[in-house]
Every structure is written in structure tokens, then in C-alpha cells.
Structure 1
Amino acid sequence: MALSAEESSRLTGLLDEHAERITNRWVELLAASLRGRLSQAELRRQVQELHHAMIEAARSGGFDLESESAGELRAVLAELSRGRARQGFTATETATSVYALKDVMLEVLETDTTDARTLRDYVAFSSLVDQMGLFTFESFVRTRESLIADQAEQLLELSTPVVKIWEGVVAVPLVGTLDSARAQVVMERLLQTLVDTSSPYAIIDITGVPAVDTQVAQHILKTVVAARLMGADCIISGIRPQIAQTIVALGIEFGDIATKASLADALRHVLRLTGVEAARRQPRRES
């Protein structure tokens, strides 16, 4: 709800006339609510930017947050929200930074005016602050969602490493649930590593996968087929008894794909395929 021209004029006058008092009291309230998590200098800078943007918006076209003249005010509120989201503050703490202005303005109105307009001005100004708080909350949520999406992508990258075991052999140790998004990342990273290393063999270890269902098996099979198109043979390791029983019960066929019970078995299998025999340590003879 936009303020009337008369209300905007009176409140702009109050913001301008009591600028220092409003700023100091606003910073004081925020410092108490945030319990020292931001410095006084940083809080003062943020409050002064908001205070200035509010006055400029009012002078340009009245207190209407949705108007074109409030573009700077919206930008300042959005920047405040993004900064607080990145610094780990909650949405409530962020919105409180705006809502604290209500208490400040009530104190100013009570001491500056004594007529019936005080209540009307405060109600009108509270409505504006509510809009600002809502805008701040929405900006905070969007930033948090973006941060969570970025972090999820980074975790996905870290959770699907492709390790070069030795020349010509790479391994993909899978841990946790294998869904469609993660399976796509596994396939892309494995294929890229096969190209970069020119490796003819790849081991896909599912020891850390808690359960294998039809969907997980399909993801693995697609990865194996894609690797074969790149000229590499895949060995699947980590087939525990419970997983083997599940695969049989589901009627999943791995065809001619080599499967091994453990990563060690898979490594020995690759050694045989490459013609390399593991050196065995001979026991020392006692003299």
C-alpha cells in the first residue's frame, strides 16, 4: 500500500530532520538483536544506506516500494538480504533488521508530534516497513536457494571422484544413493577421465552404495555402455551377497560385464587382463 502525498511528506521530513537520532537508535537495536555478529561500523553503513535510499525514494515519487522511483531502495534491500544470507544469518534476523525501524520511528513520532496524526502516520509507516521486510525476506530466500543449489552441485562433484589407479586403469568409488542427477555426473566425469588418461579399463566400485534397485542398476549399465563406446572395459566391484540376491530377485542382467565381490578382486582381474602379475614377497630365510 502506497502512502499518500501528505503522509510521505511528513514521514520524509521526520527521516530527514532526525537522521542522526534514527541512525544511532536503529544501529543500537540491531547490534542488540544480532549479538555482535556484525561490527558497529558495518551496521552503521547498512543503516545509513537504507535510510538514504528511503528518503530518495520518497522524494522521487512517494513511499511506494513497487514504483520505479524505489529502484534504489529495492537494490539496497536486496543487497542487504544477499549479504546476510551469505554470512549465515537467518531469515528472521535479516527481516528484523528492517522491522527494527518501526520501534525507532514510534519513539520519534511520540516525541515529535502529539496530535491525532501520530497514530495514523505510524500505521501508514508500519505498512511500508512491512512491505520492505517482506521484500527482504523474499530476496533472502532466493539467495539461500541459490547458495544451496551451488553447494549441492559442489558436493555432487566431490562425492563422485574418478581416481587413476595406475597407467591405463581408473576407478570410480561410489558412496551413497545413486540418483539420476548423480549418475549423469558419474558418467560425464568417467568419460572425460577416460579421454584424458587414454585408459582402457575402468572399475566402478559400488561397495558404498547401500542398496541396488532397478533404477540404480540401469544407471550403472548406461555408464558401462557409454564407457565401452569410448573403447574402455568396465568392471563392477562391491557386489555384496545382499546386493547379489537383490539383483537376481529383480531379474537384472549385467550380461558380459565383469563383476567382482570387492575392489581388490577387481584390481586382480585387471592385472590379469593387462598381463601384469603381482609381485609376491618371498619369506626371508633364516641363516
Structure 2
Amino acid sequence: MTIPVRKIPCGGRLLFMAFLFCCFLPVRAALPAPDTVKKSTPEQALQYLNSIKDLQQSRWWPNVAPALLLSNLKTFTIKPFAFFEGKTTNFCAYSALTYIPLTYDPLGFARFMINLYKNGQANIGKDQFRPSKPVRLEAGLLRYKGTLDINPAGQMWFLTLADHYKGYLNFFNRRFQKGDENTFWSSTNYAKFNRMLRRLFNGTVKAKGSDLFRPSVKDLPGFLETQMQKGLVFLYLNNKKLYRKSHRQSLISTPTHYVLLTNIRKLSDDLIEFEYWDYGARAIQQLSPAFLRNIIYGISVWNPKTPK
């Protein structure tokens, strides 16, 4: 039995090109850990954002209005689960990992976004971001993407991440052109996703799986439940199988989508209740253990480093 959920296709549909490009080896989370590991609180982030009274129109981001930017950032601070990658885009990987800064360091994320807006560049984690001019001109103009249309802050963040981080899927399309939010330019392979987790956020990442081969785990539901006690669990899924009625049949089984696991438990009828954050909302499905094992290609567990 499946509980109805929002069914919207998401990025990386053409992973079959991986076979033509190169071979990959498997690479070696449940919600926030105790508050002691958080760097800041939503209250601190809101206090900071409310203190900004004279934010001027950025010359770097001419299509992002300062008032709407501040409004978006306040909404994300209060409702991190409302963050939405938009319809038909390949932003799902960036949306999934955004839960980390909004939960563990909302003040740091707000400051990063304001600095990026004011200066056209900013630092977060181990990297400095300097979005290209085409990206900066596009933020605020994306349309027909659902609520992302009125979310220029989200557009800035997604486009900046896609512009900065590259993997093999981006090899033939590395420079942004109009409409590239829907193409390989914004796609994320599994190694790239784990690299972003390690570079962006202060924590440890343990990953099992790959773009082509499923992780070898005997009791997958039990394993996932155990991992949720350690950190945030991100899953790399075959979205075509999860939402079978929304996609055409593919000749090859490939992962297409990233989600944040929020709960998993075994039911009395041998089904698995599978709950995850997806498309700006929590989705719940009841799946057989075999089907769950069939759709999961990657398991990434992010655990924040505890201050000494």
C-alpha cells in the first residue's frame, strides 16, 4: 500500500551516460542530534535578519529584490522543511543537503547568503564561492518551478552550488546557459554529493553505495534505523521506481534522486514504513523490504563534529 505523496520528477535522469564515460567504484542523517552540537539557533538567525534595515539592491544579483531575499531567509529559518528545489529541476541534491545548515547553523547560513548578496562572493565551510555572471543574472528569473518562482534566495543558493561543484555528469556542460537548471549542468552524481557534504559542513561523512551498484547490506531497514541514531541519513534513490506511475519505463535501473530519511520502521504485515523529506514536504510510503532494497543506491550519513 502506498500513501499518496507529491509526484514530481527530479534530476539526473540520464545517468546511463555514466557507462559511456567511465566506470565507478562503490564509495564508502533521524534528524538533528542533540542541541549541544548546533552552532546557532533559529532565534539568533532571526535576530540577525531583523537587524538588517537598509539592505540595498545588489549590483551582483540584479534580479533578486532585497526585501524578498530577507523574507525568504526568515521563512527558511522558521520552516527548514519548506525548502523546495522546484518542479522539473535537477536541484534535488542541493535541496536535500540544505537541511544541514538550516538546522545546525541557521545564523551562519543567513550570514553567508547576505554576504553573497552584498559582495557577489562568500565563504561557507571549506570553500569560497564566486558565482559566474550568467548565474548571478539568472537568479530571480526562474519561472514555472512552483514555489521556487517566488524564492530568489533558494535560486541563488541552488545556482551557486551547481556552478561551483562539478562531477562527471557535468563534464560536457560546465557553463550555465538559460534553462540549465533542468540539464546535466545541475546534475549531481553520488561522489559529488558526498564531496559537497564534506566541503560545506563541519562533520564526518560515511557513505555506502555508488552510481551503478547498490550497497550490500543484509538488514537494510535495521541498518538505516541504526544510522539515524548516529546522524542525518541521506538516500540516493531510483526515483523512477519509487514513483512508477510518473515515469516511463527505463531500459536500465539507475538512481535519480536524493532525499533525507526522517523515519523508518517495520510494520506487522512485513512492510516497511518509509518516511523522507522530499520536494519541500514529508512523504510517507509503505514498501516491501525487497522493493526498498531495490531503489536505494547510496546511503550517506552526516554526523556533526562535537565542539571540544
Q: TM-score range by the shorter chain?
A: under 0.3
Q: Which has the higher strand share?
A: 2
TM value normalised by structure 2: 0.22
The higher radius of gyration belongs to 1
TM value normalised by structure 1: 0.24
